[in-house]
């Protein structure tokens, strides 16, 4: 597989990051594995149902307001029997309660939930990297093992290599600038 950003050929199709530019390649390999589309995006294109929890709660609220406040007042004004007004008021209160309860229990959520996408964090550290096969097919670590040089190998250089810095006098930073200014005044 080649990196779509820089064109670098990758060691394997399971590589998570481009070795040259660092582009996360996990998503690219998933797109290639599913024929150019992401299955997570297919869920976004599905038609959403009208019947969901949010709409059920809103319907319950409207049911309560319409039956208990408007219908009972209207039938009270037109001199309907008191039993009818009482039945409408009870149906408004308990009906709205049942609609809200049923919608919260049985209807799907109104929020569109994205499926879990692979998380791309920091690249693995050298000790966590998987082994890669080299040209000859043998397995080797991605990085060579750590090497250290003992302190006893280092020795002081010979006496001719050292320079005695005690003879240097501290020079002023402005001496060189002043010298250039004096030279320009002469001309």
Phi, psi of 161 (to 5 degrees): -80, -20
Distance, in Å, from the CA atom of 3 to the CA atom of 17, rounded to the nearest integer, reads 9
Q: Is residue 4 part of a domain?
A: yes
Indicate if 31 and 15 belong to the same structural domain: yes
SS3 readout for 142-183: CCCCCCCCCHHHCCCCCHHHCCCHHHCCCCCHHHHHHHHHHH
pLDDT per residue rounded down to tens, the chain (187 residues) = 778 778 888 777 777 788 788 888 777 777 777 777 777 777 666 666 778 899 999 999 999 999 999 999 999 999 999 999 999 999 999 999 999 999 999 988 877 555 555 555 555 555 555 555 545 555 555 677 777 777 777 666 666 666 666 666 666 667 767 776 766 655 5
Q: Which domain holds residue 83?
A: 53-106
Q: Is residue 156 part of a domain?
A: no
The answer to whether 119 and 25 have CB atoms below 8 angstroms apart is no
Indicate if 59 and 94 belong to the same structural domain: yes
Q: Is residue 153 part of a domain?
A: no
Distance, in Å, from the CA atom of 117 to the CA atom of 1, rounded to the nearest integer, reads 21
Q: Is residue 164 part of a domain?
A: no
Among 64, 88, 106, the domain-final residue is: 106
Indicate if 32 and 73 belong to the same structural domain: no
Q: Is residue 24 part of a domain?
A: yes
Indicate if 41 and 76 belong to the same structural domain: no
Distance, in Å, from the CA atom of 93 to the CA atom of 100, rounded to the nearest integer, reads 11
| Number of domains making up the chain | 2
Distance, in Å, from the CA atom of 90 to the CA atom of 98, rounded to the nearest integer, reads 12
Q: Is residue 111 part of a domain?
A: no
Indicate if 32 and 64 belong to the same structural domain: no
Q: Which residue has the tokens 């929890």?
A: 53
The answer to whether 115 and 43 have CB atoms below 8 angstroms apart is yes
Residue (of 54, 32, 33) closest to 110 by Cα position = 54
């Amino acid at each position: 597989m080649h990196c779509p950003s820089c064109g670098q050929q990758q060691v394997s199709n399971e590589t998570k990051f481009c070795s040259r530019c660092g582009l996360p390649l996990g998503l690219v390999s998933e797109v290639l594995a599913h024929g150019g589309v992401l299955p997570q995006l297919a869920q976004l294109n599905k038609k959403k149902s009208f019947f969901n929890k949010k709409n059920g709660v809103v319907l319950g609220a409207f049911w309560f307001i319409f039956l208990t406040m408007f219908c009972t007042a209207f039938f009270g004004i037109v001199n309907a029997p008191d039993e009818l007004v009482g039945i409408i008021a009870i149906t408004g209160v308990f009906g709205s309660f049942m609609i809200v309860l049923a919608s919260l229990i049985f209807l799907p959520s109104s929020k569109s939930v994205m499926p879990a996408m692979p998380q791309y964090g920091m690249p693995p550290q050298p000790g966590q990297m998987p082994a890669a096969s080299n040209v000859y097919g043998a397995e080797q670590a991605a990085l060579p093992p750590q090497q250290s040089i003992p302190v006893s190998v280092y020795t002081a250089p010979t006496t001719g290599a050292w320079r005695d810095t005690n003879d240097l006098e501290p020079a002023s930073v402005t001496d060189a600038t002043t010298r250039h200014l004096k030279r320009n005044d002469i001309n």
